[in-house]
Structure 1
Amino acid sequence: MSGIQARLNAISAIINYKPSHEPLNFSETKPTDVFGSNVFSDKIMKERLPKAIYKSLKKTITYGEKLDASIADVVATAMKDWAIEKGATHFTHVFYPLTGLTAEKHDAFLTPDGEGGAIAEFSGKLLIQGEPDASSFPSGGLRATFEARGYTAWDVTSPAFIIENPNGTFLCIPTAFVSWTGEALDKKTPLLRSLQALNKQAKRVLNLFGTSTSLPVTAFAGPEQEYFLIDRNFIFARPDLLTAGRSLFGAPPSKGQEFDDQYFGSINRRVLAFMMDVERELYKLGVPVKTRHNEVAPSQFEIAPLYEQGNLATDHNQLVMTTLQTVAKRYGMVCLLHEKPFAGINGSGKHLNYSIGNAELGSLFDPGETPHSNAQFLVFCAATIRALHKYGALLRATAGSASNDHRLGANEAPPAIISTYLGEQLADVFEQIKKGKVEGSKSKGIMNIGVDTLPPLPMDPGDRNRTSPFAFTGNRFEFRAVGSSHSIAGAQVALNTMMAESLDYVATKLEKLGKVNKTKFNQGVQDLLQKIMEKHDTVVFNGDGYSDEWHKEAVEKRGLPNLRTTPEALPVLTSKEVVELFGKYDVLSEAELASRKEIYFEQYALTVNVEANLVIRMARTMIFPAAMRYQGQLAETCEKLKAIGQDFKMDALEDVTAKLRAMQTEVNNLEKLMAHEAGDTEAHAVYMCNEILPAMLKVREHADALEKVVADDLWPLPSYQEMLFIR
């Protein structure tokens, strides 16, 4: 089949697409009735558990008290009965290994009764602890390959839920995943540890201000999930998108995103049907998705939830990613979560909105109407500035991956230099603090639009800055560097632990004041804030984070690290400062940090290796043959012209021949570079970054140039124009 025929068949399938299932009837069931219907929620537990058991479990969930293992059998029975009523035949401990993906092993409830029948069993022991084979999950040297034992431990703070399938349902129990010797092999365990550390240090600071709360102080997260939707027929014709998740070849389309007409545009009918289906599935799982819209790039979209406790938000985001990819298949599409699936247009991130607080206190990052006089807020905000200045490189490392490196620093993503944007109001307040005299803060204004029928609008005291990696946005900070395919756990672990250390520092300094009157305490707070800003305000930047001037100033004048690639960033994980930080608060041991660095280096190298092999294969088996056929047609035309006495020199033939030769040279060079055997994992990742990626780009440069001149009916790969605009 010719290249154009494969592409025409894909386009025909899209044009004639019909859903494979009946439309959802939203009028039959209200969204409020659907929400949480597949969750073993607080309401269900209250209905099904004995009062004493429920109270005990509730204390653990709400107040972080130690779990009473003796109640597990009763909880397990109630959970099993509820799940079976929902049609479940199996249960699974869901966990999140260091691959960043979701893992699960299913076990049946049914056990033969010895009389030709079966009974449904699920004990407290099975609920609390599972034992999946850990040998095939990355451990980074924490254990030998032949040592297979690993444990999953029930995370009572994240509710169990039911996943539906056309042929049945199964019960999912969120768990932590650890080795036989207790080291964390997952994303959840260090997150839970970091939340404990944050709570302890935050309460020390609150006590100094006379602020009491019965609830733990926790982190809240709201990840804005960006993604691409591409028709499956195109994906099947693109080995790079199918295997690597991004296009390794592709000339720019005639029209991209330069008109800014995609963002918040009217949503395509087929895409909107998909979005509604996704939301319904997520509602059943209790995921509070709130926003849907077109993103900046063509065929790019976003879904965003309300803010939740950090651990639950992490579990829910994993469900969001899985649901997006699963439901896309129903509509004949593929959901791409790669950070940069298409060169030359915006990639996808996962902006992590981060705050600290609880239901009683609200957000501790809420400045109120007069932030200059809100000492408690200023202390928490200053602690954040200090933490970011001291451990910005660590935060950058949490956003590192081979896929996200293609996005960071581009015009849709923050630069690799970690800084914070405070906005005009807060920047002014902290500048006053630094000078030692605070007189007031800019107030909110009212915007009169100039149209009588339109209402006056309240104005924020400052604009937003989308070029900042860590921007203050009213009552929270937004960390914009997380990749769309990443778990949000890594960034939260770093942020929580950084904040714990900074709040520990603040509490220790203020506790030294002893019992003093309010005036002296306030003076002590002001002195501390002034010292923090004098030492750490170099991380505050309210300007254009994309500008060359900022990059120069940040590195040369301010001394901020510019870790442009993942291999540059990952060594931070085992630096003395980071090892001491995580060790002090029992979040990650030195061995656990070393294992993560090893794993992430290996994943980086493997990712680039797969892509390089794809480049070579696609160049040799798809692009070369198409271009050579076109070269042959041009040569044949030249010969025919000569045969009739026309001494015709064809520039097109010389151009194609030159491009083919250049591409062949670069493919051969890439193949030679791939034969290199690097030393350890880190050295190999550095080599792949510095040698292989540039060599891949050189091959692409010539391939994309050929796409622009080879006859369209010979080109084998669906083009950017087709994939991004036909749906």
Structure 2
Amino acid sequence: MNADLTSRYGTMVFSDHVMKEYLPSDVYKKLSETVKEGKPLDLDVANAVAHGMKEWALKHGATHFAHWFQPLTGITSEKHDAFLDPVGDGTAIVKFSGKELVQGEPDASSFPNGGLRATFEARGYSAWDPTSPAFIKDEVLCVPTAFCSYSGEALDKKTPLLRSMATLDKQTKRVLALFGKNPAHVTVNVGTEQEYFLISEKDYERRQDLIVCGRTLFGAPPCKGQELDEHYFGAIRPTVNSFMKELDDELWGFAVAAKTKHNEVAPCQHELAPVFCNVNRAVDENLLTMEMMKLLASHHGLVCLQHEKPFEGINGSGKHNNWSFGTEDENLLDPGDTPEANLQFIVFLTCVIEAVDNYQDLLRMSVASCGNDHRLGAHEAPPAIISIFLGDELSSIIDALTSGETAAHTLREQLDFGVDVLPNLERDTTDRNRTSPFAFTGNKFEFRMPGSSVNVSDANTVLDTAVAKTLKEFADAMEARGDMEFEHAALNWVRKSLQAHKRILFSGDGYSEEWHVEAERRGLCNFATTADALPCFVAEKNLELFSEMGVLSPVEARSRYEVKLEKYNKLMNIEANTMEVMARRTYLPVISAYATKIAKGITTVTAAMPDAPMSHEHRELKTLTEGVNAIYDGLDALRDAHVAAEAIADSQEQANAYAHKVRPAMDALRAAVDAMEPIVASDYWPVPTYDDMLFYC
């Protein structure tokens, strides 16, 4: 590897390697025990760590420090404090104490809290998370932290995730002990594939909908979209390639292992995929990646769009969450060469299947957002119905187990290209079903429903917690099995569980109408909108899950439901307002002006040549005037639905109105405006079109 490339990696991170250099050996040892084993850290050690961290940060040009946390907005927040501390004689010293490292005090009332805190109860605390390393960004030492209220309730995304990791660790160790194994710790590993769009900054600046809402509220289909599949894995545009190079360089400096980059299916759509790591750090790194994408795009005259569906009619952007868990020695979702004989793997696979079936509603809720409602079920995104794809080999094993038969070993086939100079390849036993929301892909599950803009803490918290619950039930049953042989008891439990939860397994086309009918017959959830999905958060069985597993108290869970509901209603309100303003002020005047031009043309030509054939011009004028009337009708309908929704006091009922009344009215208004775009002359049309934005160079 290039020496310059390796020397750049991790230079902006207070990593384990840096700690060894800047911390005394006894302090490094105690901090390592905290990071790896969860042991508490006393103030003396914290002071020594803070000193070493400060010295390293100053050497790298840092002037401030900040607790970097994840409030319920879903993005990150930071408050910068200078290292300088005046001493009263006109001079200053550089100071950063252990207390400042460990604990901060940002205002808690101005963040979404779902009723947990009032404005007069503003105090909140941020607490250092030593398992995610500090880093330097823009001359600021950023310390990843958790965020809680004065009375201790979690006000962030990180705390529940850490709790879910702890409960999964505990229950997995119980199960492994039954197999005679006692690992030091169990780790959840995640790789997040981030999709995004890049468009010209000049086009972006002329689209009020993109600026305010992150997506185009209007826009007719382009002359050419993605139908030729020529953009996917195609040669990367020079401007985009320059952006990607700078992004890689910045991320590598933060020790974010950005590995793969390529063009995605839609024009202007791209993807970045990192190397897998611990889920807590993976979430932090993904949020940092998203921030860097937006910042660096402007260096190249571009804007990075991370909305799930910035352009109607072409691919939306997701954030595929590749999830697995294991010990320091093994991946517990690795089937091995003979999965049919690998009881440990079968047990863990069964627990995942049962967890996803029991809490499919929670998983759907965890990815629910205003933007994702436009993406799910369209153009390569999975449908809103949760199901699991296992592939032929594991499906045959499951079928054998549920029927009481012995599963046959499946030999891996060789792929022969028919050309002597090309090697024969071993065919995987699982295919990549792109319509599956939750697919097994060799030694992990790929949860494909999260949208590109979301913080995947929610999805991973739910997944960890649900699987931990099922592992607990298995361990409870095995520890109470009496004299029954473990292998026999385990297989009995597996067989009963798979028979009860086989409905969640599906290998076909998730887009088909037949699947929607079949899913309803099986009793699977189908929540088409965020408004439909959010009540799952506070369903009694789900409150009991979070409470039993120590991840969220009922009060904390309800607060998150309220925050998500409030955000959905606010975003829908913003979109409706923007749509009304743009239709009236941006589109209607232009369409009317163009109709007037056509009318004047007809009058002028007819005056000069009364017998001139003008039927096409009259038809064009009629289409334009009817279009203007349709837009006015659409505006009236949207305004009525919007006003009615705003008047509803109950947040859930308001969300239902936005989803099922306002959004259809928005769709109708959009259709009326979009129908005019191909008719009005290009020099009249007031904003960049899809043809302009998607093919800017």
TM-score (norm 2): 0.98
Q: How many Å apart are 1:674 and its aligned residue?
A: 2.1
CA distance in 2, matches of 1:702, 1:269: 37
CA distance in 1, matches of 2:311, 2:409: 44
C-alpha contact 1:369 1:443 (8 A) present in aligned 2: no
Q: How many Å apart are 1:668 and its aligned residue?
A: 2.1
Q: What is the root-mean-square deviation of aligned Cα atoms in Å?
A: 1.2
2:444 is aligned with 1:476: yes
Q: 2:166 aligns with which of 185, 193, 196?
A: 196
Deviation larger for 668-677 or 254-263: 668-677
C-alpha contact 1:382 1:532 (8 A) present in aligned 2: yes
Equivalences for residues 294-693 of structure 1 within 5 A: 294-358=263-327, 360-514=328-482, 520-556=485-521, 558-646=522-610, 648-649=614-615, 650-676=618-644, 677-693=647-663
CA distance in 2, matches of 1:503, 1:515: 21
Deviations 1:637-658 (A, max 9, x none): 1111231242544111111001
CA distance in 1, matches of 2:350, 2:26: 43
Q: How many Å apart are 1:417 and its aligned residue?
A: 0.7
Q: How many Å apart are 1:521 and its aligned residue?
A: 1.8
Corresponding residue SS for 2:580: helix
Paired residues, what number? 691
Deviations 1:410-459 (A, max 9, x none): 13111111110011000101111111122423121211111000011111
Deviations 1:40-83 (A, max 9, x none): 01011111111111111101111222333431111101111110
Corresponding residue SS for 1:362: coil
Q: 1:85 aligns with which of 50, 59, 63?
A: 59
CA distance in 2, matches of 1:508, 1:97: 36
2:105 is aligned with 1:105: no
Q: 1:76 aligns with which of 36, 50, 54?
A: 50
Equivalences for residues 76-225 of structure 1 within 5 A: 76-164=50-138, 169-214=139-184, 216-225=185-194
Residue type of the alignment partner of 1:566: T
1:249 aligned partner: 218
Q: How many Å apart are 1:134 and its aligned residue?
A: 1.3
C-alpha contact 1:470 1:478 (8 A) present in aligned 2: yes
Residue type of the alignment partner of 1:182: G
Structure 1 residues without counterparts, runs of 5 or longer: 1-25
Corresponding residue SS for 2:496: helix
Deviations 1:532-582 (A, max 9, x none): 1111111011111111111101112x1001111111100000001100000
Residue type of the alignment partner of 2:584: R
CA distance in 1, matches of 2:674, 2:150: 51
C-alpha contact 1:471 1:477 (8 A) present in aligned 2: yes
Residue type of the alignment partner of 2:582: M
C-alpha contact 2:14 2:135 (8 A) present in aligned 1: yes
C-alpha contact 2:190 2:323 (8 A) present in aligned 1: yes
Corresponding residue SS for 1:262: coil
1:8 aligned partner: none
C-alpha contact 1:428 1:441 (8 A) present in aligned 2: no
CA distance in 2, matches of 1:673, 1:499: 42
CA distance in 1, matches of 2:197, 2:231: 13
CA distance in 2, matches of 1:225, 1:431: 35
2:24 aligned partner: 50
Corresponding residue SS for 1:247: coil
C-alpha contact 1:95 1:176 (8 A) present in aligned 2: yes
Corresponding residue SS for 1:273: helix
CA distance in 1, matches of 2:536, 2:119: 26
C-alpha contact 2:316 2:379 (8 A) present in aligned 1: no
Corresponding residue SS for 1:175: strand
CA distance in 2, matches of 1:411, 1:403: 14
CA distance in 2, matches of 1:692, 1:592: 30
Q: How many Å apart are 1:717 and its aligned residue?
A: 0.8
2:5 is aligned with 1:35: no
CA distance in 1, matches of 2:592, 2:680: 9
CA distance in 2, matches of 1:30, 1:433: 54
Deviations 1:199-253 (A, max 9, x none): 0000000000012212x11211101000000010000000001110000010100
Q: How many Å apart are 1:333 and its aligned residue?
A: 0.5
Q: How many Å apart are 1:669 and its aligned residue?
A: 2.1
Q: How many Å apart are 1:114 and its aligned residue?
A: 1.9
Q: Percent identity?
A: 48
Corresponding residue SS for 2:449: coil
Residue type of the alignment partner of 2:665: A
Q: 1:259 aligns with which of 191, 208, 228?
A: 228
C-alpha contact 2:431 2:441 (8 A) present in aligned 1: no
Corresponding residue SS for 1:40: coil
Residue type of the alignment partner of 1:84: L
Q: How many Å apart are 1:514 and its aligned residue?
A: 4.5
Q: How many Å apart are 1:146 and its aligned residue?
A: 2.5
Deviations 1:75-125 (A, max 9, x none): 101111110111111000000011111100000000112222111000100
TM-score (norm 1): 0.94
C-alpha contact 2:8 2:252 (8 A) present in aligned 1: yes
Q: How many Å apart are 1:522 and its aligned residue?
A: 1.4
Deviations 1:264-311 (A, max 9, x none): 111111101100100100000010111000000000000000110010
Equivalences for residues 275-286 of structure 1 within 5 A: 275-286=244-255
CA distance in 2, matches of 1:669, 1:548: 30
Deviation larger for 68-77 or 603-612: 68-77
Structure 2 residues without counterparts, runs of 5 or longer: none
Q: How many Å apart are 1:684 and its aligned residue?
A: 1.1
2:680 aligned partner: 710
Corresponding residue SS for 2:652: helix
CA distance in 1, matches of 2:511, 2:40: 48
Q: How many Å apart are 1:511 and its aligned residue?
A: 1.3
